[in-house]
């Protein structure tokens, strides 16, 4: 089992950045901006962000921006969507280059996606999902522009997606799912609204995600997966119930999902690795205070020192 192979993972991430032409990379091309966030945040948590050329990254990110709407697409030429807009803002925050964008233009794009009932669409085509509520709130908060939306209604909509098991779904009536729960709890945390969460009820539902193999699943009777080390764990941390799982067993599970030869972390032991699971595995370990890693903030999903800088430095 052993330790976290930091060097290998750093090399893996840098290699993914260069690899663009094989089938797997092509299939993910439309979410490369998300990939940049996952990769760079992982590097920062492992104290390896220095090996990246910030200027190049910033230039490329800006090239993903749709000049008309102000939103960002997943890659150059792809349509703007709030998911990639958040990743863009998060990476710029990470590199301390939020000055590179017109903050008001970006925030107007995001704020313009809020609907009458407080919900958020992902883009002009109108798909509604609490994921987008989180993404919008997190993005606007990092830009200090939360006042551009109706926060009370946004909170009301999220609360309307609360289920009887204490969890949250993607839309009212939607089944509780750890990913949606992270989004709703995160949005409520950022807006100072965690009193809407029944922390004991949800905390127990979340801690029951830990299975016999030590890993976490996303909802009852499903398979464990490293990405839930983030969705479930960060939710538990935000509601102060993380002590209800066995952190040692979870750490072992994550470390078992590493490819220590080629670098990277996979969803389950001996499966193919990718940047997505590499980020969630490392971020999960960071949340459990694994030695040598920077602490990550559970709501903003950025290193805590980045968040402190944004909110306490004038």
Partner 1 sequence: MHGRPRKATKQEDPAAAAAKSARLRELQSQLLHFHHNRIYTKEAVSVSSKLLEINPEIYTGWNYRKLAFQHNLKEVSDTDTDTDTETIKSAIEDELRMVEVALRRNPKSYGAWYHRKWILGQKLVLANFDHEFRLLDMLLKADARNFHGWNYRRFIARLKDVSEEEELKFTMDMINTNFSNYSAWHNRSMLLSKLLRKKAKGFHEEESILSDEFELVRQALFTDPSDQSGWFYHLWLLDQTSTPHKPHLVSSWPSDKLNIEISAQFKEKCERFPIIFCFNQQVDGVNLATVTINSKLVSSEHITWKPLSANNSRKSKIWVGFLENFNKYCDNSEGLSVEISVHCCESIVHSEFVMKLSHMDHQGKNGDGFEELFLWDCPKSQEINPYLVSYDPWRLRVERVEEDAKWHLDTLSAEIALFKEMSECDEDSKFVKLTLTRLLGAHNSIKSGGSAYFEEILKLYDDLIKLDAPHYRYYRDERSLVLLDQMTSSKDSLVEYCSRCENSSFSCINPQLCINFSGLNLTRIGFVERLLWVQILDLSHNNLTSLLGLEALQLLVCLNLSHNQIMSFTALEPIKSLQSLKVLDLSFNEIGSHPVDTTRYLCSSPLSHSCNVTETMEELARENIKIGDFWEAILLFESLQLAQLDMQGNPVTNERFRVLVEKVIPCLKWLDGKPVR
Distances (CA, A) of 117 to 64, 91, 172, 181, 208: 30, 30, 12, 20, 33
Q: Is 23 in the site for partner 1 (CB under 8 A)?
A: yes
CB 13 within 8 A of CB 43: yes
Selected binder of partner 1 within 47, 51, 55, 77 (CB under 8 A): 77
Binding span for partner 1 by CB under 8 A among 27-35, 60-68, 93-101, 106-114: 27-35
Q: Is 298 in the site for partner 1 (CB under 8 A)?
A: yes
Q: Is 286 in the site for partner 1 (CB under 8 A)?
A: yes
Radius of gyration (Cα) for the chain, nearest Å? 18
Selected binder of partner 1 within 61, 149, 242, 255 (CB under 8 A): 242
Based on CB atoms, which residue is closest to partner 1, 10 or 28?
Answer: 28
The site for partner 1, by CB under 8 A, has a size of 93
Based on CB atoms, which residue is closest to partner 1, 58 or 129?
Answer: 129
Q: How far is the CB of 193 from partner 1 (least distance, A)?
A: 7
Greatest Cα pair distance in the chain? 52
Q: Is 32 in the site for partner 1 (CB under 8 A)?
A: no
Binding span for partner 1 by CB under 8 A among 8-16, 44-52, 53-61, 295-303: 295-303
Nearest residue to 190 via CA among 161, 232, 160, 158: 158
Nearest residue to 234 via CA among 176, 314, 304, 178: 178
Distance between CA atoms of residues 200 and 255, nearest Å: 29
| Binding map of partner 1 across residues 243-282, x = CB under 8 A, - = no contact | xxxx--x---------x------xxx-xxxxx-xx-----
Binding span for partner 1 by CB under 8 A among 2-10, 38-46, 112-120, 169-177: 169-177
Q: Is 60 in the site for partner 1 (CB under 8 A)?
A: no
Selected binder of partner 1 within 120, 157, 205, 231 (CB under 8 A): 205
Ranges of H-type helices in 66-196 = 82-94, 103-111, 130-142, 151-159, 178-190
Tokens 């992270």 belong to: 182
Distance between CA atoms of residues 65 and 90, nearest Å: 14
């Amino acid at each position: 089992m052993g330790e976290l192979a930091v060097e290998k993972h750093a090399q893996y991430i840098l290699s993914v950045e260069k690899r663009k032409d094989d089938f797997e990379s092509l299939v993910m091309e439309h979410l490369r901006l998300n990939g940049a966030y996952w990769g760079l945040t992982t590097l920062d948590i492992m104290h390896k962000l220095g090996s990246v050329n910030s200027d190049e990254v910033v230039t490329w990110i800006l090239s993903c921006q749709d000049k008309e709407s102000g939103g960002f697409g997943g890659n150059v030429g792809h349509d703007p969507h709030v998911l990639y807009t958040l990743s863009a803002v998060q990476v710029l925050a990470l590199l301390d280059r939020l000055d590179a964008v017109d903050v008001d233009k970006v925030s107007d794009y995001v704020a313009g996606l809020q609907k009458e009932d407080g919900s958020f669409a992902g883009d002009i085509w109108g798909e509604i999902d609490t994921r987008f509520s989180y993404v919008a709130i997190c993005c606007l908060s990092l830009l200090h522009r939360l006042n551009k939306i109706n926060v009370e209604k946004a909170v009301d909509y999220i609360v309307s997606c609360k289920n009887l098991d204490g969890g949250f779904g993607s839309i009212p009536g939607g089944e509780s799912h750890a990913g949606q729960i992270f989004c709703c709890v995160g949005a409520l945390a950022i807006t100072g609204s965690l009193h809407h969460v029944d922390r004991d009820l949800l905390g127990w539902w979340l801690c029951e995600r830990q299975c016999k193999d030590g890993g976490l699943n996303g909802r009852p009777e499903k398979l464990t997966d490293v990405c839930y080390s983030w969705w479930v764990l960060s939710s538990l941390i935000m509601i102060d119930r993380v002590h209800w799982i066995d952190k040692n067993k979870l750490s072992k599970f994550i470390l078992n999902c590493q490819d220590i030869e080629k670098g990277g972390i996979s969803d389950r032991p001996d499966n193919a690795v990718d940047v997505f699971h590499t980020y969630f595995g490392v971020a999960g370990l960071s949340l459990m205070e694994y030695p040598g890693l920077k602490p990550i903030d559970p709501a903003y999903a950025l290193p805590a020192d980045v968040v402190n800088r944004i909110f306490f430095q004038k």
